[in-house]
Structure 1
Amino acid sequence: MTIDIARPAALARAATHRTAMVTIGAVLGVALLVLLSSLIGVHMLAPSDLWGAVSSFDPTDDAHLLLLNRRIPRAVLSVLVGAALGAAGVVMQALTRNPIAEPGLLGVNAGAAVAVAVSIAVLGIVTPMAYFAAALIGAACAGLLVMMLGGVRRGSDPVRLVLAGAALSVVLGALAQVVIVNGDDMVFDRFRAWAVGSLAGRDADVLWPAALMIGAGVLIAVGLSRSLNALSLGVETARSLGARPAFVWGCAGLAVVVLSGGATAAAGPIAFVGLTAPYAARRVVGSDYRRMLPVAMLLGAALVLIADILGRVVAPPGEVGVGIMVAILGGPFFVALVRRRRVDPL
């Protein structure tokens, strides 16, 4: 019996080539969507306006001011939020060993919601930057508390982590409802505007801190990708390959908190992106986390961009929040994926 040692190498080359082609196509698609996001809205702009704003900015030109102060930062923030949720979903699925897990399982959304609700009711916050700061603090505290309760540092029972996240999410969600119900109409209206998930009104004040936080989370996730592959083979096998399970699980939980917390703080709670993008990426490029991560980030960015663009054109002169549009788009897409193929455990 002969062993064809060339076959695994050929399969690896084919997988790498497929990933490269998918990544290039996704990058081009995201770039086109960024261009469309910059031009489409209540006030439709021409590509020449965008080129003029970038190459020779005129502070007296309303189109240039709109592009540089609103449209371009909003498009870039859409990319960051979608990429962060896609990356967080990949790491969360690896952390829980569940191919349909999503970042909200760590209680990040619930923590952000209760922090925003309390800040509106007590402090009267009204600006996007104030919402960002409050949501970020709440998301970080909730995520870290879930990690402590779930025993991530021991890295032995992902089920305990999920249960801790679900329990804390219920408690925090109830607390947020208590604050909102007992507040006045102003509190309810402001919280509702944040809770639907929206990129409207976000400018550079929110963009830069979100970019720094999400960038840090992406670096952690990329650094963990090889170790996550080892842990997918089992704890004992991972140890034999030099991985430290407790350390890897702890860092993975931290990456999810940083990525999902930054995205939620910037745009409010957005569902389905952290679940659908990694699932689709796995179907396209396989279960190697080094390949899944960039593809899921690009797919997540594309989904948020599409949702944000459609939200601006379906109900003019108003707009539908990106969180609502993502749910409308992502829900049926994910249901179709699940019905089409059997969901295999990791």
Structure 2
Amino acid sequence: MTEKPILVTGGAGFIGSNFVLDWIGQEGSSVVNLDKLTYAGNVGNLARLKNDPRHKFIKGDIGDRALVRELLNRHRPRAVVNFAAESHVDRSIHGPEDFIQTNVDGTFHLLQESRAYWEKLAGNEKTVFRFLHISTDEVYGSLGPDDAPFTESSPYAPNSPYSASKAASDHLVRAFHHTYGLPTLTSNCSNNYGPYQFPEKLIPMVIMNALNRKALPVYGDGLNVRDWLYVEDHCEALRMVLAKGKPGEVYNIGGRNERKNIDVVRAICSLLDEMHPASSMGNYASLITFIKDRPGHDRRYAIDARKIERELGWKPSESFETGIRKTVQWYLDNMNWVENVASGEYQKWLDINYTSRGTA
């Protein structure tokens, strides 16, 4: 069964493409990669697999049930790994409908076809099949400064259209396991960062803006706290969940790296001062600009990852200091990639979400 492929959805996005690269590099078996290639999907992320027969890319939507059915029946994967999602809170505030269509309806259609495929399997093929659904810590809501981190039993309390749509998809995955017996696994991760991240997210946006001598926008007072997880650590955790996770279970994946947003921005500025000094303007921190906060901005997220550490033996390898240094260096070394993704769509988004906000 280890020679059979896996079907990855959303495998040209940030986390998905890192997972595909990691999977082929570490596991060696084939990947069928289905991605709709919306603005954040980029086949350039997978350029080094261009001539690798172990990677088959298909442009398509998880909501296209006929296409999903055909891929499942033709390739007979031993697992479905679902990254496909709209994932940016600010975009969900401006346009929530896309989040319902992809994260809720799309996941439902993918579950329906995966269930139909699984029910036709027999013997060991049916026993080993898994449906792994990648979700977020944002489904749990917001924490106070002294609250214990989220665990797998924390109640759901989503506060944005994005997190509400992911919460709905998590519930569907749970229901398909408990109602139909589909062998599902769910992971809820903290904020990822690393190579190939679309620059609407905080860390790559700050790096890109700083290099272009543009303002570094920070919401509100900058004291919102997130737990930061280096994407390669996340990929390793997902491989362990797929290999050793118990069907029906949820695994929280965190980096043990809580940081205030303003401290993340200052850390990036400090690294750029060292690695790419801008003598003409002094230090990069002078570009920091506090802007009006986003509506319903959750104050703090934190992940208790002791379950996956205890049951599956995973722990993150990167500290925030080592991970953010690797990330800044990757962006400095890959400016062609940066220039290719910084399209008119991205610039339009910056104008919609940041320019109109004004200062805090």
The TM-score, its normalising length taken from structure 1, stands at: 0.27
Greater RCO, CA 8 A, separation 6+? 1
The structure with more helix, counted as a fraction of residues: 1
- Which structure is larger by alpha-carbon Rg, 1 or 2? 1
The TM-score, its normalising length taken from structure 2, stands at: 0.27
The structure with more strand, counted as a fraction of residues: 2
